């Protein structure tokens, strides 16, 4: 069985895998077009940033008890997605059952450093991407609102692996 989003650990939860399959398959081509136009990114870089955002959003299901910080490019990609408000609201409702807020922070403190460290642990724990093992840069001044959301209720409680 091939796991979605380049997962290298099986969460041993068929419902969760189905949701992550839907996230991976969700059409972000509009956002790719916006990133190419705004930043001059190649199609390959747009697809890479798309995957990084999808993996970041997957942490809502895989590590729902913590806030997380996105990578720099994933954050820029996320900004473009949010600007297409109708599309973004629809995507959030389709996949998460609610709007996923982007929470910018004014400063970086000890608590935010903890979120950033936990994000890297979660990304390296779940995903087989070498990007997260090198000098992957997380944004310093924003975070995702942590779960659970209506879509994560009843799914995340059955995860076999928790980060500590």
| Separation of alpha carbons 83 and 77, rounded Å | 10
Could you tell me the two tokens for 117? 């460290």
**What is the mean pLDDT of the segment spanning 4-29?**
93
| Separation of alpha carbons 91 and 69, rounded Å | 20
Q: Is residue 162 part of a domain?
A: no
Q: Is residue 163 part of a domain?
A: no
Tens digits of per-residue pLDDT, 109-164? 777 778 878 888 899 899 987 777 655 666 655 555 555 455 555 555 444 345 55
Q: Is residue 30 part of a domain?
A: yes
**Phi and psi of 139, rounded to 5°?**
-65, 145
With contact defined as beta carbons under 8 Å apart, do 122 and 68 qualify?
A: yes
| Separation of alpha carbons 11 and 3, rounded Å | 9
Q: Is residue 131 part of a domain?
A: yes
Q: What pLDDT is recorded for position 108?
A: 64
Q: What pLDDT is recorded for position 66?
A: 83
Q: Is residue 143 part of a domain?
A: yes
3-class secondary-structure state, position 102: strand
Q: Is residue 164 part of a domain?
A: no
Tens digits of per-residue pLDDT, 78-101? 999 999 999 999 999 999 888 988
**Phi and psi of 125, rounded to 5°?**
-65, -45
With contact defined as beta carbons under 8 Å apart, do 57 and 97 qualify?
A: no
Q: Is the pLDDT of residue 55 over 80?
A: yes
What does the mean pLDDT of the chain come to? 82
Torsion of CA 80, 82, 84, 87, to 10 degrees: 120
- Domain holding 22, by residue range, is 4-157
**For the chain, how many structural domains are there in total?**
1
DSSP H helices in the chain: 14-25, 29-39, 43-62, 72-83, 85-96, 110-126
**What is the mean pLDDT of the segment spanning 16-29?**
95
Q: Is the pLDDT of residue 72 over 50?
A: yes
Q: Which residue has the tokens 């979660």?
A: 122
Single pTM value for the model: 0.84
């Amino acid at each position: 069985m091939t796991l979605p989003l380049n997962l290298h650990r099986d969460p041993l939860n068929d419902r969760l895998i189905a949701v992550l399959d839907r996230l991976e398959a969700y059409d972000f081509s509009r956002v790719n077009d916006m990133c190419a136009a705004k930043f001059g990114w190649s199609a390959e870089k747009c697809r890479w940033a798309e995957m990084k955002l999808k993996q970041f959003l997957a942490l809502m299901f895989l590590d729902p008890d913590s806030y997380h910080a996105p990578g720099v490019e994933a954050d820029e990609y996320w900004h473009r997605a949010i600007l297409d408000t109708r599309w973004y609201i629809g995507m959030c409702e389709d996949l998460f059952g609610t709007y996923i807020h982007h929470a910018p922070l004014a400063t970086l403190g000890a608590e935010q450093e903890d979120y950033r460290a936990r994000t890297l642990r979660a990304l390296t724990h779940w995903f087989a991407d070498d990007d997260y093992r090198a000098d992957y840069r997380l944004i310093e001044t924003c975070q995702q609102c942590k779960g659970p959301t209506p879509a994560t209720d009843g799914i995340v409680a059955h995860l076999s692996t928790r980060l500590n």
